[in-house]
Structure 1
């Protein structure tokens, strides 16, 4: 357990957080919890790529990993529920990830809304197109959701191609997409695909087949999906069929739905207090939304909420404070409230 890929991911997160958050902050991050604190932690500690990458990780498994890391002296207790990485742990991180790097294409925060749906659509489309190409009508769809089957009917209709031409073109697009990056191994993706007289492997089976740690395979597979999503999104004209597999473009914008509604009202000129009244939410909730917007929208202007002079003082405090904990920063800028500090950190970090 201690030297599994997942345990090294946990060790890496502990290193980034440096004792400033509890171990359960890591659980929330890897589970993809959409709380204001978790979203901010992902950005502040530069862990956005790992957001929602291990949604099935539970408290018990995390605690076992922490215990094993502690026994190996890779970490030392900082507070009751937080740890810091030791020099031995830092060496282990460097050695391990030099040999088994986290895929640079991994982008959990940006694509967490669409990754699962993209996989469901592409796996079903490839299965059905393969069966159509080989004139086979008797098979069990690997995806059972009715909405996916309805989507596929629309996809096949909108393509306006014969079954043979459709098969050729989607194959060509997949090859073109996957071959443009020499750092990824397409076999990791292909092993999961079901087609004519071919049954795709489960994640566990594929990892075993490729002699890989199951969690390492999982991360590599996610990295490929995220890479494909990035390519299709940025070069849509090169992938006219694959782009039809992506959900609504709004789903790729990494904002929660509630924050998106607040953002729409901000763009219409409503103030924080007016939005609080219109949406019938607590002021602190709207503030959380604004911080999330600041984290994810590059040209978002925060000057409405914090003036230039105070912003500069907060930035200096962030650089000199003992940690990124808000209370330590506020001790250096007592006339700033927590919302202003969080907002400046979101824009200036």
Structure 2
């Protein structure tokens, strides 16, 4: 399973043919993802909210939707998708009677769509380690650093200095150069330790196929496959391969955070524990300085609705953030009961059961308590 990694580090290691994985589906994996997201949204957001989700748009609305509809795993996981592709897929799914349009660009799954989704997920489930919200950007950086480091160390071990780097970003090139130069081991030991840690991580992962990552690695005398080439090699739907590859990267990031991997831990850049939009961070700073909402509206010269968006985002992302100042305990209970009675996340419907609550108050409670409301 790991013979390619071994060869990259150890010149005399023999290489044999790899097994191939075949997955058959009646619809594309991207369409399965769209059906899954539409099922979660249940007609309460437009089809283009999925576009913003997959792109990882750092807007208050997209971040709130990712959490509210339990879709944070898909945040920033398909940055190549276009609005036109979303529209084309929606048209095809509708033409095939898998989805039905309830309002303009709002869709729900038909009974046939539910059946196709269930069958599709039974063949290719949502990857178990996928966590785009937490590792979307950090995971891509992890892969850049790891793939380049493997290539550099492989060529050093083979005493070859002429090659084209697999990564071109100056920041990544500089990072790997400093990593190799400053790490407290000679290059041979560094290579052996990295090989040991990487194979140990891959061996211990449940429901992952390490070959999906291994075939992408480059080294002396070996050019790793591109994502498209790897999908073809594995006879996989390209988008399905993409998500399975991300699944492995996010798995590595998770394990690196949880366990002791001295070499691999260097590749993971920890993001702040609290992921907020920049505008919300500014509002949060003013709140911590003791300013009221009216003060912040005046200081920042923003609409009240914008500042309210920031408060909802804070309630969503910061566990210790108290909403008592904005919704008293009694009204919180009333809103929670209204959410259960309405059985929807549509604010207009919820407010029918709690007419004394404002939309802002309902949004805060939804953000703070979600499905536990």
Q: TM-score, normalised by structure 2?
A: 0.87
Contact 1:14 1:23 in 2 (8 A): yes
CA shift for structure 1 position 322: 5.7
- Equivalent residue pairs, number: 346
Structural mapping, 1:78-97, within 5 Å: 78-97=102-121
Q: 1:153 aligns with which of 177, 190, 195?
A: 177
Against the structure 1 CA distance between its residues 229 and 268, is the aligned structure 2 distance closer, same or farther, given a 3 Å change threshold? farther
Contact 1:110 1:253 in 2 (8 A): no
Between stretches 304-313 and 153-162, larger displacement belongs to 153-162
Q: How far, CA to CA, are the matches of 1:196 and 1:287 in structure 2?
A: 55
Q: 1:262 aligns with which of 283, 290, 293?
A: 283
Between stretches 51-60 and 213-222, larger displacement belongs to 51-60
Partner of 2:4: none
Q: How far, CA to CA, are the matches of 1:123 and 1:15 in structure 2?
A: 36
CA shift for structure 1 position 65: 1.0
Partner of 2:264: 242
CA shift for structure 1 position 264: 4.1
Against the structure 1 CA distance between its residues 261 and 118, is the aligned structure 2 distance closer, same or farther, given a 3 Å change threshold? farther
CA shift for structure 1 position 293: 2.3
Against the structure 1 CA distance between its residues 53 and 2, is the aligned structure 2 distance closer, same or farther, given a 3 Å change threshold? farther
Partner of 1:134: 158
Contact 2:53 2:75 in 1 (8 A): yes
Q: How far, CA to CA, are the matches of 2:158 and 2:96 in structure 1?
A: 55
Residue 189 (structure 1) aligned with residue 213 (structure 2): yes
Consecutive unaligned residues of structure 2, counting only runs of 5 or more, are: 1-24
Residue 25 (structure 1) aligned with residue 45 (structure 2): no
Q: TM-score, normalised by structure 1?
A: 0.93
Against the structure 1 CA distance between its residues 279 and 174, is the aligned structure 2 distance closer, same or farther, given a 3 Å change threshold? farther
Residue 57 (structure 1) aligned with residue 78 (structure 2): no
Q: How far, CA to CA, are the matches of 1:263 and 1:113 in structure 2?
A: 23
Residue 198 (structure 1) aligned with residue 222 (structure 2): yes
Partner of 1:337: 358
TM-superposition CA deviations, 1:134-158 (whole Å, max 9, x none): 2111111111122222212221233
Partner of 1:12: 36
CA shift for structure 1 position 166: 0.5
CA shift for structure 1 position 261: 3.9
Q: 1:307 aligns with which of 317, 322, 328?
A: 328
Consecutive unaligned residues of structure 1, counting only runs of 5 or more, are: none
Partner of 1:168: 192
Partner of 1:102: 126
Q: Secondary structure at the match of 2:137?
A: coil
Between stretches 339-348 and 298-307, larger displacement belongs to 298-307
CA RMSD of aligned residues (A): 1.9
Contact 1:2 1:68 in 2 (8 A): no
TM-superposition CA deviations, 1:175-231 (whole Å, max 9, x none): 121122121111111111111111111100000000100000000011111111111
TM-superposition CA deviations, 1:285-344 (whole Å, max 9, x none): 332222222222223222122110111111111112263122222233233222221111
Q: How far, CA to CA, are the matches of 2:245 and 2:280 in structure 1?
A: 29
Q: Which structure exhibits the higher relative contact order, with contacts defined as CA atoms closer than 8 Å and separated by 6 or more residues?
A: 2
Q: How far, CA to CA, are the matches of 1:327 and 1:37 in structure 2?
A: 17
Q: 2:243 aligns with which of 205, 213, 219?
A: 219
Structural mapping, 1:117-132, within 5 Å: 117-132=141-156
